[in-house]
Structure 1
Amino acid sequence: MTTARADRDSTGGAGEFGRLSTEGIEKFREKIGLDWPYSRWTTWNEEATRDGVRHYAYGFGDDNPLWVDPDHAATSRWGGIIAPPGFLEGAGLTPRLPRRPEDKGRGKGALSGVHMFWAGDHIRYFNPVREGDRLWVRRFYVDVKEKERSRFGGRSAVTVRRRVYWNDRGELIAIWDADFVHTERDTAANRNRTLQAVPDQHIYTEDELLEVDAHYARESIRGAESRYTEDVEVGEEFLPRFRGPLITGDVIAWLQGNGRSEIFPYRLGYQNRQRMGGFYSRNEDGAWDSAMRVHWDDEYARSVGARRAYDYGMLRNAWMMQVVTDWMGDDAVLVRVDDRITGFNVLGDLTRITGSVTAVDTSGEWPEVVCTVQCTNQLNEKTAHGDIRVRLPSRERGLPEFPEPPADHGLLPGMPEPENGPWVR
């Protein structure tokens, strides 16, 4: 995900447009703890409907019956459909919050026009999302750090944006921290010049595609067959999986399920530009277009340092979690995700997903199995990796529960209480 340059300077005095200045970073620091509300403009799923959950799951190629088959889900421990863990990324409305004079203008224009890339996630889960749940969210920054150099070869900053999710029963569902890397435009342009040495996009042979299909045919879902903690062995490997070769249709399928608030047509597109003009620029035809076109427009993607148009980091996050949810079965609970997005996955790339059980942590209230997963492309470049913790059922102790939520619900000191919604403190 990137920001795009508008035809006007919109920094609001927070530094030169498109530049990573110390002034701009300090101005950005004012955003810490400031709510950035989700409205019906920016959320994709206000409620976890049966259709919405299914569309999200199908959008990244997941047909786990716990998400998509009401008859199967009704016989599970959950008593009905629950959503895949990543469903929250495009979900929820922010409750009404008090307007405080001291919040007006905080951080406005900071790092305007600077490219921003999704770089990783740190998610803690406390409850499932059930069919019919109305979802609530608060979104705000919790950290910003300046880095002298990044993998793009120049100055950068890393910000951490938190989202706190709960349902209409006042139950905390998850605290989701996402890391973003901010880089300057000329840094991306310099990186783009180094891409001349990258080999041409691989053209896949019939035999290669047959091998990919054979892997798809071997994929399996544990489902109702319990996998017990007592049976897990450290070093156990998951069957390798392929995703791709990535095509534009895969990006479209992901957007059908997960959505993007920056992509609106016609009058709604005009209205969106009035709210966030810096995210739009004129394309090669002279028409206004959003920065989201890095995901389907090769030339625009090259302007930010990629070889071609590329996927969404959250798509690879969903793939890595799918490997684990397929393996763990219906009775288990996924409780934590820590992942890093380390490279572009561009159109034409074939991703190989591998993983294994690397630890069983018995230090807490319930044993947690640590699954390490990584994504590697056809150039043998690692583009994402992560550790995912799950609690499996036990023959001795029965079914696992989610961890107890923290008393502060992930909010920072001094943040205001909502004026509506079922928020429980």
Structure 2
Amino acid sequence: MTAAPAETEAEFGRLTSAGVAKFREKIGLDWAYDRWTTWNEEATRDGIRHYAFGFGDDNPLYVDPGHGARSRWGGIIAPPGFLEGAGLTPAIPRRPEDRGRGKGALSGVHMFWAGDHTRYFNPVREGDRLWVRRFYVDIQEKESRFGGTSAVSVRRRVYWNDRGELIAIWDADFVHTERDAAAKRNTAKIATPQHIYTSDELLVVDEHYARETVRGAEPRYVEDVEVGEAFEPRYRGPLITGDVIAWLQGNGRSEIYPYRLGYQNRQRMGGFYSRNGDGAWDSAMRVHWDDGYAQSVGARRAYDYGMLRNAWMMQVITDWMGDDAVLVAVDDRITGFNVLGDLTRLTGTVAAIDTTGEWPEVVCEVQCTNQLDENTARGTLRVRLPSRERGLPAFPAPPADHGLLEGMAEPTEGPWAR
């Protein structure tokens, strides 16, 4: 589709067909991670531990060097979601006609992380230097429960290490909505009073925390798993601002910089910033700690990051499957806001055992439900468990035609390029 001329672009904060057409110019164009925007250029021991602790995971395979050394991996590996804040983009030749492609499209239109479709081909090991290519592959207009007329874009990231091994291909879905439309559509929900927890309710949550277990070095064999088997329910919350801070300490966000660096960031991506209630410049990320701003986009209060619930759902499975298993695929959908004060209950079952491929894959379904009995996320995760008959599972073979590992050179543009 030919992009709409710049003079027909909608005003700031409006979602129109012209804006979507302009955004479509970005498809296939690398959106590079440099040393300004990546959180972990390398999978260090500290970086892996900080990420795991950031969403409440103390699995010894991620945080205990001795335990990792005794495992099949020979050392610490990272939780699967570690990639979200990791990797540099190599120097990629730019065509003159690509300069400015899609710039300013849908500026001021809010974006929600809406889901993930990830395929894993290798683990991230301690010491791995990580590379990534990131680009949009699609955007479509549609109706959204988040805010009426909307658009859904798909951003692909392809990760590999210095050895040239493909680690994962990760597609993320984003819903684009107008802030005013979303707020008006969700007026009733915004007015819903927040639940105040009793001591007895918090005791129940603590009892569940005390019962959580990590399978660890004890193998869970595929022959012992039955369809319909339920995972032990887990609780996360009630969500507090400190939980959001802990997540940011581990996962990072390039949009949040202070002082001179904050000023420099505003020069790079001014449409991401607006004046807060005090009149100061602040990023759109404040939906995660500023109740008033979050309500302007249709949430009851400030809310978590979709990737935090993605990490919780994966933790249910990685704790259950044990050190010898491999998580090979995750498909999840964020279906609602998880706001400050909400209590999330994670439940799930073994939905199927797929024996059609090279190795049996256990298909697991996991759901997130809040204290109002609203579903806020759900996921389908596929696991390869060890077998008494066949031994240890391997990751799936990477696709031979992805064509994205060329060019391992250092980045030559952006802050701190060598």
What TM bracket, shorter-length normalisation? over 0.9
1:233 aligns to 2:226 (yes or no): yes
- Provide the C-alpha distance between the structure 1 equivalents of 2:185 and 2:252, rounded to a whole number of angstroms: 29
The amino acid across from 2:390 in the alignment is: R
Distance in 2 between the 1:410 and 1:288 partners? 41
Residue 8 of structure 1 is matched in structure 2 by: none
Could you give the per-residue CA deviations for residues 271-304 of structure 1, whole angstroms, max 9, x where no partner exists? 0000001111111111111111110111111011
Find the counterpart in structure 2 of residue 110 from structure 1: 105
Match of 1:50 among 31, 45, 52: 45
**Secondary structure of 2:160's match?**
strand
The whole-number CA distance in structure 1 between the counterparts of 2:203 and 2:369 is: 19
Cα 1:421–1:173, aligned 2, differ >3 Å: closer, same or farther? farther
- What is the one-letter code of the residue matched to 1:322? Q
Alignment of 1:307-386 (within 5 A): 307-386=300-379
SS at match of 2:41: coil
1:16 is displaced (CA, Å) by 2.2
The residue identity in structure 1 corresponding to 2:407 is P
**2:20 aligned to 17, 25, 38, which one?**
25
CA shift for structure 1 position 419 = 6.2
* Equivalent residues of 2:19, 2:106 under 8 A apart: yes
Q: Following the alignment from structure 2 to structure 1, what is the Cα–Cα distance between the partners of residues 117 and 105?
A: 24
Letter in 2 for 1:191: R
Residue 180 of structure 2 corresponds to residue 186 of structure 1: yes
User: How far has the Cα of 1:192 moved from its partner?
Assistant: 4.0
CA-CA distance at 1:408 after TM superposition: 2.5
Deviation at 1:27, TM superposition (A): 1.2
After TM superposition, the score normalised by the length of structure 1 is 0.93
List per-residue Cα deviations over 1:73-100 (Å, max 9, x = no partner): 1000000000000000000000001121
Q: 1:280 to 1:12 in 2, by over 3 A?
A: farther
Superposition deviation, residue 22 in structure 1: 1.1
Give matches, 1:236-247, under 5 Å. Answer: 236-247=229-240
Letter of the 2:401 counterpart: D
* 1:172/1:409 contact within 8 Å kept: no
CA distance in 1, matches of 2:16, 2:288: 28
Offset of 1:360 from its aligned partner?
A: 0.3
The farther-off stretch of 31-40 and 186-195 is 186-195
Q: 2:297 aligns with which of 301, 304, 309?
A: 304
Aligned to 1:61: 56
Query: CA shift at 1:24, angstroms?
Result: 1.0
How far apart, in 2, do the equivalents of 1:35 and 1:12 lie?
Answer: 25
For residues 403 and 238 of structure 2, what CA distance do their matches in structure 1 show?
Answer: 38
Of the three residues 150, 154, 167, the one matched with 1:173 is: 167
**Superposition deviation, residue 194 in structure 1:** 2.7
- More displaced 10-residue stretch of structure 1: 36-45 or 14-23: 14-23
AA in 2 matched with 1:284: G
Structure 2 residue 130 is the aligned partner of structure 1 residue 135: yes
Cα deviation digits, residues 212-236 of structure 1 (max 9, x gap)? 0000000000000000011110000
SS in 1 for 2:248: helix
Distance 2:165 2:219 in 1: 26
Deviation of the 1:186 alpha carbon: 2.2
SS at match of 1:155: strand
Structure 1 residues 420 and 304: CA distance shift in structure 2, 3 A: same
Q: CA deviation at 1:420?
A: 1.7
One-letter code of the match for 1:105?
G
CA distance in 2 between partners of 1:45 and 1:186 (Å) = 35
CA contact (8 A) 1:12 1:108 kept: no
**CA-atom RMSD in angstroms:** 1.5
How far apart are the structure 2 equivalents of 1:154 and 1:335? 35
Report if the CA contact (8 A) 2:183-2:299 is conserved: no
Q: What is residue 78 of structure 1 aligned with on the other side?
A: 73
Matched, 1:154 2:148: yes
Distance in 2 between residues matched to 1:410 and 1:13, nearest whole Å: 36
* Matched AA of 1:392: L
> Do the aligned residues in 2 keep the contact of 1:159 with 1:179 (CA within 8 Å)?
yes
Match of 1:280 among 259, 273, 276: 273
Q: Secondary structure at the match of 2:377?
A: strand
Cα 1:275–1:12, aligned 2, differ >3 Å: closer, same or farther? farther
Q: Do the aligned partners of residues 13 and 101 (structure 1) sit closer, same or farther apart at CA in structure 2, a change above 3 Å counting?
A: farther
Give the letter for the 1:96 counterpart: A
CA distance in 2, matches of 1:421, 1:266: 28
Q: What are the residue-to-residue correspondences of 1:248-259 with 2, within 5 Å?
A: 248-259=241-252
In structure 1, distance between residues paired with 2:403 and 2:195: 45
SS in 2 for 1:393: coil
- Is contact 1:98-1:419 (8 Å) kept? no
Change over 3 Å in CA distance of 1:417–1:226 after alignment to 2: closer
- For residues 74 and 197 of structure 1, what CA distance do their matches in structure 2 show? 52
Q: Distance in 1 between matches of 2:359 and 2:134?
A: 30
Matching of residue 93 in structure 1 with residue 81 in structure 2: no
What is aligned with 1:420? 409
How far apart are the structure 1 equivalents of 2:358 and 2:274? 52
- SS of the residue aligned with 1:418? coil
2:144 aligned counterpart, secondary structure:
coil
Cα distance in 1 between the residues matched to 2:353 and 2:317: 15
Pick closer, same or farther for the CA change 1:218–1:184 going to 2, 3 Å.
same
- Which structure 2 segments of 5+ residues have no match? 1-5, 412-418
In the TM superposition, what is the alpha-carbon distance from 1:175 to its structure 2 partner?
0.3
Instruction: Give the secondary structure class of the aligned counterpart of 2:140.
Output: strand
Shift of residue 326, structure 1, vs aligned partner: 0.2
Aligned amino acid, residue 180 of structure 1: F
Distance 1:277 1:196, change over 3 A: closer
Q: Would the aligned equivalents of 1:175 and 1:410 in 2 still touch at CA under 8 Å?
A: no
CA contact (8 A) 2:352 2:362 kept: yes
Matching of residue 396 in structure 1 with residue 377 in structure 2: no
Q: Which moved more, 1:330-339 or 1:400-409?
A: 400-409
Letter aligned with residue 54 of structure 2 = G
Going from structure 1 to structure 2, the CA distance change for 1:12 and 1:67 (only over 3 Å counts) comes to: farther
